[in-house]
Structure 1
Amino acid sequence: MTAFALLFPLAITTLIAVLLYGMPSLMPATLPLGVSVPRARSGDPAVTRHVRAYRMAIIASWILSLALLLGLSPTVPAAAVLTSVLFLVAASTVAYVVARSGIVRAKRRGDWYADATVRPPANVASVQQPPAPVGWLVFSLVVLLVAFGIGVAVYPSLPQSVPVHWGASGQPDRFAPKGVWSVFGPLIIGVLVAAGLFAVSFAVRAAPVRADQSLTAEQNERRASLIQSAGSSLIGRLTAATAIMIVWPAVVSWLWPDASGAVIAGIVVGVALMLIVVVAFVLASRRAAATARVAVDGDMLGASARSRRPGAGSVSAAHDSGPAHASTPDAPDDDRYWKGGLIYVNRDDPAVFVQRRFGVGWTVNFGRPGGVLFGVVLVVLVVAAIVSALVAGH
């Protein structure tokens, strides 16, 4: 087993563990482990205790997953990677569910929302649709067409047996007779993927975005516009990264069949590009929410300052001693719509995409037909990718 084949899954497993460990810090204080609590209870000892227990469980799960990886790698390297990652995900999910349940029980026993003033449920924000990612689609198709041209040019000189799979060392370990599908099949799939992602971009652009109860209509419109623009840009950049990752192995295997490790290096670069694109989308979504939040906080601070001017009337002690948002209503206690804090099901909410309760980014509303369709397509794609990887490995 090569050093790369061992270090790469080690790095992936560690990255997943770090993200899971830091996830509570990325969430609002009123959503510890995805449980809705009033601001006055966000620092409750029960909350602190269960969040700490979750993080300790993540550390223990990571250590055990690394032990599985190192123990199985010498004998069954492929199974070692899959086993360690699946164990980490499964153990972390159990830790999350157990810790979250503790906070839910404490909230119910203490009836934390009994004296809390809550905002009315949010509606969706109206917004003008952002442009489709046509430029990224054109770029992807050009890359694929150039690869087709190279393939046609070198096809007569290709050997009668062409590589169709590469091992962790970068060397081909599976071959097929030369033919249209064995040579051009990946590029044909790339065109279909590009077309499919472009079609998905229309659904992302048209899907309603849930409004923030604490923002004005104008601020929600701006926030929704930024989020939908970020989603459209995400689809476009993912299309381009996918095209590059598909084209690279094909072209390298045609032009430089003896280039050791070049194919795997290209795939790793493609995966890195996808990760960068996803991180950029998450940051853009958070920036959209922050942009609207800065505006509303500025309005509230200005109102608070005006209320303190002579002649403005009396101001409560809570307003004088705390931040401007200290007396604003809390978010509704809508835990009943969040199954396990991860899956959102609300038939009365017209929004298809809603902000996650635990984790970064957005999730779908499985109470809406569009959300169900999106979820089914996503599951099919994930299962297809796993099955393809297992079939290719044999």
Structure 2
Amino acid sequence: MIILLFAFIILFITVLQAFTPKFLKPTEAFGIYVPDQYTLEPTIVRLKKRYTGVVLMSGLIALAGYLFWALTQNPVEETLVLLGVGVQFVTLFISIGYYFIMHVRVKKLKKEQGWLTGKNEVRVVDVQFQQKLHLLPRVMFIIPMIVTVSLIIYTYMKYPEIPDMIPTHWGLSGQPDAFSEKTYFISIALPLMLLVLQGMFLMMSEGMKFSGARINPANKKTSLTQQLAFRKYTSWFALFISVSMTLMFGYFHLQTIHPEIGSAWITFSIPVTFLVAVFLAVAIYAVKVGQSGSRIKVDDSSPSLEDKVAIDEDRYWKGGMFYFNKEDPSIMVEKRFGVGWTLNFAHPVSWIVLIVPLLLIFGITFLL
């Protein structure tokens, strides 16, 4: 069962990374802005296919090697898990490394062919964009946080009944394999960590409201419609993850107060179910929505304007992945490679948003 679980994770990561170029806007290739007239340039099409082939093949070879080793050597559980995680990192490193190779090639191609020569760079702004957004209301993300706070209150009410040794880690078999002596902090550590994660999803939803829209001047209506849809579906996706985490963490926490509700099978199956559900949600989100809603079909399209292109912001994207723009008030921006959002690292608040939750999570984990 453990082998199948890790095989599924490795296969999912491989396929998602390999086909990432297909989920992106046509006007972005390996972190480089591509004007509409060059999106079907043969070299770009060839590089995308090559990236998919290399990443897919290397991932499948790594998966086959892992399965062969696991089935022939009969390793212990700890070694099986350790190598399984290692293979996941290897597939990620291969895809990221090959991405940077493709990034350099597209950047060079853009310069050699002069894609922006003679073009008018314009920025399209919709002053009513925020009013047109259909994001989930803030309260939808606050409700799971209220549930978590209620769990903390309930824990303190039941504190005398909690066992003296509290499980803090569960093995893949579903049995607890690490314990900490009961204290008031240890007893609520899991809900506190959950509260931090829920707060991150709330900030993500709020950040989308104030993130500037990158509207394509060559196809304004389509681009605007896709941008609005992308943020709406991202909001639903974030809520799904937040609620799913609340259910999973909530069960594990209640199990420490009421051990009788737990069993090894349930303890094992809940994280697996959560993992499969999240992976399926990510797959649906990537395939149906795509980055910036690029895979959402729009019937009403505006005519292409051959002499106008979007503002070239390549200089703000370091390696096509990390965004630094002091002039942009947005804290969150859409990724250029991958589906989702990243931070504007030139904005001081972005570092607070990034570092504070990480410090809180690491601090809680360290004190367990």
TM-score range, shorter chain: 0.7 to 0.9
Residue number among 32, 37, 46 corresponding to 1:35 in the alignment: 32
Q: SS of the residue aligned with 2:52?
A: helix
Residue 6 of structure 2 aligns to a residue in which SS?
A: helix
Question: C-alpha separation between the residues in 2 aligned to 1:106 and 1:24?
Answer: 17
Letter in 2 for 1:190: L
Does structure 1 residue 186 correspond to structure 2 residue 229? no
1:363 maps to 342
Q: Which amino acid counterpart does residue 248 of structure 2 have in structure 1? A: M
Task: Give the equivalent residue in structure 2 for 1:240.
Answer: 243
Structure 1 residue 248: deviation in Å?
A: 1.1
1:360 Cα offset (Å): 1.6
- Pair 1:329 & 2:308 matched: yes
Deviations, residues 164-183 of structure 1 (Å, cap 9, x unaligned): 22111112222334454444
2:146 is aligned with 1:167: no
Amino acid at match of 2:207: V
Q: Are the aligned partners of 1:119 and 1:331 in contact in 2 as well (CA < 8 Å)?
A: yes
3-state secondary structure, aligned to 2:178: strand
For the pair 1:250 / 2:247, whether they are aligned, the reply is: no
Q: How does 1:281-320 map to 2 (within 5 A)?
A: 294-295=299-300, 297=301, 300=302
Contact preservation (8 Å) 2:226, 2:292: no
Deviations 1:99-148 (A, max 9, x none): 22222222322333335x34413457552486743144224533663686
Letter of the structure 2 residue corresponding to residue 243 of structure 1 = T
| 2:325 aligned with 1:346 | yes
In structure 2, the partner of 1:103 is 106
1:134 counterpart = 2:139: yes
Answering whether residue 56 of structure 2 is matched by residue 52 of structure 1, we say: no
Give yes or no for contact 1:165–1:172 (8 Å, CA) kept in 2: yes
Partner residue of 1:306?
none
Call closer, same or farther: CA 1:255–1:7 in 2, change over 3 Å. Answer: same
The counterpart of 1:145, out of the listed 150, 153, 156, is: 150
Structure 1 spans left out of the alignment, 5+ residues: 301-323
Structure 2 residue corresponding to 1:120, chosen from 119, 122, 130: 122
**2-structure distance, mates of 1:88, 1:360:** 18
RCO greater where, 1 or 2, for CA within 8 Å and sep 6 or more? Answer: 2
| 1: CA distance, partners of 2:203 / 2:19 | 31
Aligned residues: 357
AA paired with 2:75? P
Identity %: 19
Question: Structure 2 length normalisation: TM-score?
Answer: 0.77
Residue in 2 aligned with 1:269? Answer: 273
C-alpha distance in 1 between matches for 2:163 and 2:277: 32
SS in 2 for 1:366: coil
Report what 2:7 is aligned to.
10
Measured after TM superposition, the shift of residue 91 of structure 1 is 1.0
1:384 aligns with 2:355: no
Q: Report the structure number with the largest CA radius of gyration.
A: 1
Distance 1:347 1:291 in 2: 31
Moved more, 54-63 or 266-275: 266-275
CA distance in 2, matches of 1:266, 1:88: 26
Deviation (angstroms), 1:96: 0.9
1:148-197 CA distances to partner (integer Å, 9 max, x unpaired)? Answer: 648855953x6544432211111222233445444443234434544x34
Q: Pick the aligned partner of 1:82 from 81, 85, 102.
A: 85
Q: Offset of 1:262 from its aligned partner?
A: 1.0
1:374 counterpart residue number: 353
Letter in 2 for 1:361: G
SS in 2 for 1:98: helix
RMSD (Å), alpha carbons:
4.0
Tell me the amino acid that sits aligned with residue 270 of structure 2. G
Amino acid at match of 2:170: W
CA displacement at 1:87 relative to structure 2: 0.8
TM-superposed CA distance for 1:233, in Å, is 4.6
Are the equivalent residues in 2 in contact too, given 1:353–1:362 (CA < 8 A)? Answer: yes
Q: Which moved more, 1:10-19 or 1:239-248?
A: 239-248
| Alpha-carbon separation, structure 2, partners of 1:63 and 1:190 | 34
Change (3 A) 1:352 1:150: closer
Any stretches of 5+ residues in structure 2 without a counterpart? none
Question: For residue 23 of structure 2, what is the aligned residue in structure 1?
Answer: 26
The 2-side partners of 1:118 and 1:30 are apart by 16
Change in 2 beyond 3 A, CA 1:100/1:215 = closer
AA aligned to 2:116 is Y
Deviation at 1:232, TM superposition (A): 4.9
Deviation at 1:30, TM superposition (A): 3.1
> What is the DSSP-based 3-state SS (H/G/I as helix, E as strand, rest coil) of the residue aligned with 1:174?
strand
Over 3 Å counting, the alpha-carbon distance change for 1:29 and 1:243 in structure 2 is: closer
One-letter amino acid of the structure 1 residue matched with residue 212 of structure 2: V
